[in-house]
Structures are given as C-alpha cells and as structure tokens.
A and B are shown apart, each in its own frame.
Chain A
Amino acid sequence: MGSINTGDHRRWRRDERTLWRAGPGAVVVLLGPRDTGPRSLRGTGAALWSALDGPPRSVQEVAGRLATEFRADPDAVRRDVDPIIAELARVGVLVEDS
C-alpha cells in the first residue's frame, strides 16, 4: 500500500460522489465510490470531513481551521490531519483538486 504525499501545494476536496451522514457526537459515516461498505470517522477525522465542506483546501489550511476551532497548536493538528487526509485520498473519498 503506497502512501500519498499530502504536500503543502496540493489541495483536497471531497469526492462529490461520496455518500455521507454526520451523526451526533462527532461521527461521520462515509460510503465512497470505491468502497464496498461504509466506514466511520470519529474525532479528528470527523472534524476534518466537516472542514472540507467547501472549496478545495491544502493540509495547511485544514489544519489552520481545525486549530482555530479547537484552540489547538496548528503544528500538532497538522501532524494529526496529515495521515488522515492521505488515507481518505487513498480510499477515494477525497480527491486532489486539479
């Protein structure tokens, strides 16, 4: 399984074919176009999905939004967010904006 480089210059958005529901308690259930079954995001993953609700954003921008929302250190948030974006891009629910 190859990892995806989420680098600063790359911008990410939700794949608009992804089906999803946001439940209470910071949980998001997703069914991407390539998924065989639904997957759940909790905590940072759910917040990240919510932060990608508009135009494409870089990892830096997403981390900045979440850091402001949760009053956290942007560098620490970035370290959390980076692998989640890479994984969501790998499974096809996030796509790079070209």
Chain B
Amino acid sequence: MKAAADVCRAVASYGLPGGALPLPRRPLDPPVWDAVLERAARQRVTGHLAFALEEGAFAATQPQRSAAAEHHERALALDLLLERLLLASVERLEHASIPVKILKGTALAHTRYANPSLRSSGDVDLLVPGSHFDAAVETLCARGARRRYREPRRGFDQRFGKGACVETRDGLQIDVHRTFVAGPFGLAVDPDDLFATHASFRVADRELACLDLEAQLIHACFHATLGDAEPRLVPLRDVAQIALHADVDMDRIVDLCSRWQCGIVVQHATRLAWEAFALTTSNEFVRWGARYAPSPFERRALDAYVGPDRSYARQALAGLSAVVGVRAKAAYARALLVPDAPYLRERDRGYLRRLTRGVRLLVNERTGQ
C-alpha cells in the first residue's frame, strides 16, 4: 500500500532538519493506519512514530496512539533483551581475551540519537578482528548457541568473510562481523583500520568499544546501500542522522573512502537517504558525496550489490578483484569453487553444479551480461 509506505518514510524522517515529508494532519482510516503500524513495526521505526504521535506532529485517534505505544513498548523490550545478550557476549569475549567492538543498533542508539529509544534493533552486532574470528564464534557458541550458516572452507571467514550469524537458544541473533559486508566492498576494508582508533559508550555499568564517528557513518552507508534489495528505513535514517547531527571530520571520511575504495557507497547511500526523506538540508558531507567520481572498481563492485541481477554469488565473484595477492586470490577462488562437502550439500548438491554456476557467472561478468 503506497500510502502506508509514504507515511512510514515520513515517520522515519521525523525530527531530521530539512525533512519535507508531511505527516498526516487528520487521523488515518483504519486500513491505512493498520498498514502503517505493521510497516513501522517491521521497519523498526516505532520510536519515531511514538514520538511523532506524542508530540502532536502525527494526528491520530486515542486507540491508534495506544496501539502505537504498545508496539513501541514491545520494541523497547526486545532492545533491552538484546542489550543484555550483548553485555553477556562482550563479557565472554573479553574473558577469552578477544577484542570486540559494538556495531550498528545498540552503538548508534547510545551515541548518535538523542534518546536511545528512537533506534531499535533486531539483533546484536559485534566486530572482532579476523585473527580472533573463529575463537569468537566458538566462544559465543559455547553455551548452547549455534552458528546458523557454515563457511565454505575452514578458515574462509576469518580471512575473507563478512562474518557469521550465531543464534541463541531463545532465538536471539548475534551477528559476529569480521568486516562490514560480504563481497568486494567488505574485502576492500582493511580490518586493522577498524581497530586502529578508540571510541566508546556506556550501557548500564559497562563501557563498550565502538567505531569512531566517521567509521560509524561509513558503515551506516554500507548498511543502507548494500544490505537489502530494497533499502530499509532504519539504516537510511542512520545515514541522515549522523550526517546531519554530528560534526564529521571530512578529511577522515575522504581518507577512509580512499583506503577502503568505498566513496561510491557513501555517494549512493547519501542519495538514497536524501531522496527517501526528501531532505533539503545540505552540508560538506552531502556535497562531497554528490561530486565524488567513483573508480571503475567501485562501479563494478556496486553493481554486484544493487544491479538488477544482484546475488551473493555475484558479490563473491566480484570480491576476487579486491583480494590482494595471487596466493590469496587462489585460496579465495578455491574455497568458493570447491567448498567443503557439508557446505556444498546445503547449497548446490554437487561440485559439478557449483562449478558450472561459477563459470557461467564468470563468463557473464566478462561479457557484461
């Protein structure tokens, strides 16, 4: 329902300077309201909805306000359960001498939003160095949690992968990251850079490490652009929220984009966020993104994520160009083309089928199909 989608975009942009999307001035008809509420919950923007209603910016009936408050309360309850899981996970990793940083939801809620209840999460996101990756997954799985997807070959994830998803016994999810994203852009990020600077925030009685402001903003751009086929509202809001409310060091942004070959990701994410929320405000960050000239690598890489035939396989293939060194490229290609038998059973049912698929992708890539 387009009307509900439009209202949700306006809700997600509530409070942003220069936001031009109108919120309803009269209570919505029940079918539209129900669709708005369902979508707001699914997109995890009930915080903005609840505040817009409370502050009178969004006209609604009393039952509608109560329903929105109830949904938001449920989202906050989940946030707290995830936060408890996060604290327990960090404690276990630290006990095992594994360095860890908090990514996305909880970190952004506590560092980039005026009220953490405006930024809800669906899981816990942790970043660990590649050299500790396997140990981190093993540590988190020690008490009955399980890893959801296998790696193609032993050691692949700690060297080339984005990360792993660990599910606890009560169904909560921990995403353990080595880098921001699978494929070429994730491989182009130097994981050492992510632990080179220090920033932190406080949750309860714990000080937790997170990315610095500029790395947070670039990561938000990755999440907004490269995560889902249809960009989600929360990461788009994160991009606009950080870009418009924080004092970003542009020299560092430019430096990181150059090192990680990801200026096009920042450019694309900024354009998506500004279009989605009809933002009229500009600043140095936005202007830099608009005039950025991407390299051929960046254009090809972006197409693997947002092009019409985007797929994990295309991203994996495009990743080959970001792997440095002939031996590393060979190890990467071997792991993807000839993975371990259990991985293969889950995915392709046979080596020949996988090899055929890989060759077909490679030919299409070369011929530009």
| Partner-B contacts on A (CB < 8 A) | 16-25, 27, 29-31, 37-38, 40
Contacts and interface: CB of A to CB of B under 8 A. Distances in A.
A12 B84 CA distance: 23
A22 B204 contact: no
B12 to A, nearest CB: 16
B151 interface: no
Contact of B50 (A24, A31, A37, A40): A24
Interface residues of B, number: 23
B38 interface: no
A25 B54 CA distance: 6
A38 B51 CA distance: 21
B203 A19 contact: yes
A92 to B, nearest CB: 13
A27 B80 contact: no
B76 interface: yes
Interface string B27-71: 000000000000000000001001101110000000001000100
Interface of B: 47, 50-51, 53-55, 65, 69, 72-73, 76-77, 79-81, 83-84, 115-117, 203-205
Contacts of B115: 22
A20 B69 contact: no
Nearest to B87: A19
Contacts of A23: 47, 50, 69, 72-73, 76, 117
Contacts of B205: 16-17
Given A17-B205, A18-B204, A25 B69 contact: yes
Contacts, number: 57
A37 B84 CA distance: 10
A55 to B, nearest CB: 16
A23 B71 CA distance: 11
19 contacts: A16-B204, A17-B205, A19-B204, A21-B80, A21-B116, A23-B50, A23-B72, A23-B73, A23-B117, A24-B53, A24-B54, A24-B72, A25-B69, A29-B77, A31-B80, A31-B83, A37-B77, A38-B76, A40-B73
Nearest to B86: A19
Nearest to B83: A19
A37 B76 CA distance: 12
Contacts of B72: 23-24
A19 B69 contact: no
A38 B80 contact: yes
The CB with the most chain A CB atoms within 10 A, among B50, B72, B80, B203, is that of: B80
Given A29-B76, A29-B80, A31-B80, A24 B204 contact: no
Contacts of A27: 69, 73
A27 B117 CA distance: 11
Contacts of B81: 31, 37-38
Contacts of B51: 24
Q: Which A-B residue pairs are the 4 nearest by beta carbons?
A: A24-B54, A38-B77, A31-B80, A29-B76
Contacts of B65: 25
A38 B205 CA distance: 18
A96 B204 CA distance: 17
Given A16-B204, A27-B73, A21 B54 contact: no
B204 A21 contact: no
Given A16-B204, A16-B205, A31-B84, A21 B79 contact: yes
Given A25-B50, A25-B54, A19 B117 contact: no
A8 B83 CA distance: 35
A4 to B, nearest CB: 22
Contacts of A21: 76, 79-80, 116-117
Contacts of A24: 50-51, 53-55, 69, 72, 117
A37 B81 CA distance: 8
Nearest to A26: B54
Given A24-B54, A29-B77, A31-B80, 15 more contacts: A16-B204, A16-B205, A19-B84, A21-B116, A22-B115, A22-B117, A23-B50, A23-B69, A23-B117, A24-B50, A24-B51, A24-B53, A29-B76, A31-B81, A38-B77
